[in-house]
């Protein structure tokens, strides 16, 4: 049953959608994007990579299986708002502990429902990502458009510094495991769970940590996490990775970490028209000629023509042929653009964590 309190979504191109309130009564401004997943809305909302964004779910009915305390990927909701066709008020699942609407209210997130999300998605696909504002407490269109016009664009925006941890911390206390220093640009819990399942001892460091901070842990491997915003704005991250590459410890990056590694190696990034977001994106592994179905969430990509000669492309998108993975020929470093921890999503790419551990084992033998 749709809440009958009116709400509006206004896009930067002037298009206005009239719907009904979802979650907290209020206003929220951000970049409007769309996610093609049918499930995983709670993991998506709590993925720090969605910081600063209003998420449109293309599947029409969201919230069918409710929410629970287990399906979260960080300590809060980082998305600025949620846009759905219809939110389910009566979820049916044995794990459910509440409704999506209740969850958004509890976390002070403003959303909208009851609009044509197919039409909204077509606009974004045709015209590209753009800012938008959701409001359920003020329906004055001129006032909302004025507020929207002042909201910053995603280009040039450093959001890693917003979502990163304030100080280093330990994920587990496995003193006998491989010591992994994870740089937190917006890390997800399932990444840490998978590294821990491989017997790793993980120390998480803030995005602005120095090389001395990292090396004080005496790591055997470096992990560069996912995260939000424009990678070229994370200059401190690029500087740190350049320093880490000189030491040549095994290094594995995903999503924003992949982009930061690429920038540190000399490549350039650019903003995609509408990004890749969903848990059903086909990627070709060039090395073994196998297609993987992947979970993705990124609005920027690597410029193919700017890759230096010591970088090889390992994965490409079958949707638009953009770069999805790289390896460095003369360094113990590799990365992928997508989310191999797959929460939510298929498990096709979890072998990459095995690859990282094997690289650490090999490096340990070489430098023993």
pLDDT by 10s per residue, the chain, length 368: 555 799 999 999 999 999 999 999 999 999 999 999 999 999 999 999 999 999 999 999 999 999 999 999 999 999 999 999 999 999 999 999 999 999 999 999 999 999 999 999 999 999 999 999 999 999 999 999 999 999 999 999 999 999 999 999 999 877 788 999 999 999 999 999 999 999 999 999 999 999 999 999 999 999 999 999 999 999 999 999 999 999 999 999 999 999 999 999 999 999 999 999 999 999 999 999 999 999 999 999 999 999 999 999 999 999 999 999 999 999 999 999 999 998 898 999 999 999 999 999 988 765 54
Q: Which of 33, 200, 255, 328 is catalytic?
A: 255
Question: What fold characterizes domain 6-149?
Answer: Glucose Oxidase; domain 1 (3.50.30)
Active site includes 341?
Answer: yes
Active site includes 189?
Answer: no
Question: What fold characterizes domain 160-366?
Answer: Rossmann fold (3.40.50)
Fold match, 6-149 / 160-366: no
Indicate the domain borders of the chain.
6-149, 160-366
* Neighbour tally for 181: CB within 10 Å: 25
Q: What is the rounded distance in angstroms from the CA atom of residue 110 to the CA atom of residue 355? A: 41
Q: Which of 276, 281, 315, 339 is catalytic?
A: 339
Helices (H) and strands (E) in the chain, counts: 10, 19
Q: What is the rounded distance in angstroms from the CA atom of residue 51 to the CA atom of residue 2? A: 27
Instruction: For residue 150, count CB atoms less than 10 angstroms from its CB and return exposed for 0-12, middle for 13-18, buried for 19 or more.
Output: exposed
Active site includes 298?
Answer: no
Element (H, E) at 325: strand 323-328
pLDDT of residue 3: 56
pTM here is 0.95
Q: Which of 31, 43, 73, 341 is catalytic?
A: 341
Sign, CA dihedral 331-189-187-306, equals positive
Question: Torsions phi, psi of 131, nearest 5?
Answer: -75, 155
pLDDT of residue 366: 59
């Amino acid at each position: 049953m749709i809440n009958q309190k009116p709400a509006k979504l206004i896009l930067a191109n002037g298009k206005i959608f009239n719907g009904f309130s979802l979650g907290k009564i209020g206003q929220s401004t951000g970049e409007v994007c769309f996610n093609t997943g049918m499930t995983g809305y709670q993991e998506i909302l709590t993925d720090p990579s969605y910081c600063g964004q209003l998420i449109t779910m293309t599947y029409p009915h969201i919230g069918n299986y409710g929410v629970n305390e287990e399906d979260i990927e960080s300590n809060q909701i980082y998305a600025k708002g949620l846009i759905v066709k219809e939110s389910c008020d009566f979820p049916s699942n044995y794990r459910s502990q509440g409704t999506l609407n209740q969850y958004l209210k509890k976390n002070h997130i403003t959303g909208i429902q009851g609009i044509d999300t197919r039409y909204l998605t077509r606009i974004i696909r045709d015209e590209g990502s753009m800012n938008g504002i959701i409001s359920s407490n003020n329906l004055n269109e001129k006032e909302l458009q004025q507020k929207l016009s002042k909201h910053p664009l995603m280009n040039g925006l450093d959001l890693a510094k917003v979502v990163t941890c304030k100080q280093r911390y330990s994920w587990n206390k496995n003193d006998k495991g491989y010591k992994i220093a994870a740089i937190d640009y917006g890390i997800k819990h399932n990444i840490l769970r998978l590294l821990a399942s491989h017997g790793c001892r993980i120390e998480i460091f803030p995005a602005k940590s120095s090389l001395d901070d990292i090396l004080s842990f005496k790591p055997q491997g470096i992990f560069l996490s996912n995260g939000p915003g424009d990678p070229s704005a994370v200059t401190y991250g690029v500087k740190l990775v350049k320093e880490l590459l000189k030491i040549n410890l095994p290094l594995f990056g995903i999503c924003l970490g992949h982009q930061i590694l690429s920038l540190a190696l000399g490549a350039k990034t650019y903003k995609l028209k509408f990004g890749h977001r969903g848990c059903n994106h086909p990627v070709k592994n060039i090395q073994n000629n196998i297609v993987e179905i992947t979970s993705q969430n990124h609005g920027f990509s690597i410029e193919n023509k700017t890759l230096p000669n010591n970088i090889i492309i390992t994965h490409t998108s079958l949707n638009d042929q953009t770069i999805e993975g790289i390896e460095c020929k003369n360094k113990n470093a590799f990365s992928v653009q997508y989310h191999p921890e797959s929460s939510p999503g298929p498990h096709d790419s979890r072998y990459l964590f095995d690859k990282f551990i094997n690289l650490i084992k090999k490096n340990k033998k070489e430098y023993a």
